[in-house]
Structure 1
Amino acid sequence: MKLSVTTPRYLFRSVNLICYSLVNHLVRKLYKLKYELRYIALRYIFQVIPSEKTKYFFSISLKIKYKMKDNFDIFFRRKPALMLVALKKMSKARYGSLLAKEVDCTYSHAVKILQTLEELKLVDFEKKGRIKLIKLTKKGEEVAEDIDSIRRRLM
């Protein structure tokens, strides 16, 4: 269908809605494809849809493009898993800021993750003066060892 200046506004809106719903359906299907095929399909979608509409779907494409960065991300959230592994590698207690730098995330994000890990009884906090030291519990060491062995198998 070719849209012209005389096309009624409601018809143009319905075409937009159809376009959006079609692309949303395609994006849901793309999650099932392999990474290379997703990239090709996304390029095709952005060629078909007019440029003003691609801004809406750009965030979706970034989610898909970086979703399977590597095989480890399929099974685990990267930062919490790497925090446990980093704590396991260092036998002594660590500072939160050092751990955040090692895992490559912000300090506030690291603290939030560490609080969740503490609720799961995987880490303990020791307060010495102003400094909070982080140590793995026995359960945390076992989980970190399992995560590390899975990571080594996938690499």
Structure 2
Amino acid sequence: MNLTVLAYVIYLAVSVTLTVWVARTLSHHGRLFLSDVLHGDEKLADAVNHLLVVGFYLVNLGFVALYLKTGDDIENARGVFEALSVKLGVVLLVLGAMHLGNVYVLNRFRRRGLSDREQFPPVDPDDTTPTAWAPEPAGA
């Protein structure tokens, strides 16, 4: 087997495996975060989580496919390792950037939701709750 083809096979196997592992990890651990962002709506959180995973797969596997080609033929084992290290390093950087981008955007939504929730008191005010926004008692 040609060493260039061997490098392609190893690159695809490792890149696809890493992409699947990262997507599953983010999906599993991101569900709770999405539920909080979406104010506890579990069905919507599951739907958004699934859509994010599909988008993650499409973008990252598309990048892996586009980045497959090498410029030169690989002629020895050293060339295989050098080509794989560059390609896998770039794939890992893209996976990390996608993850950080998703977390940034979702955190912005979460912060907006938290600030909206802070606009309203968690319980109705009564005579024993000293707050600046509590209405004056009747007859005072």
TM over 0.5: no
Question: Normalising to structure 1: TM-score of the pair?
Answer: 0.30
Bigger Rg over Cα: 2
Higher helix share: 2
Question: Normalising to structure 2: TM-score of the pair?
Answer: 0.33
Higher strand share: 1
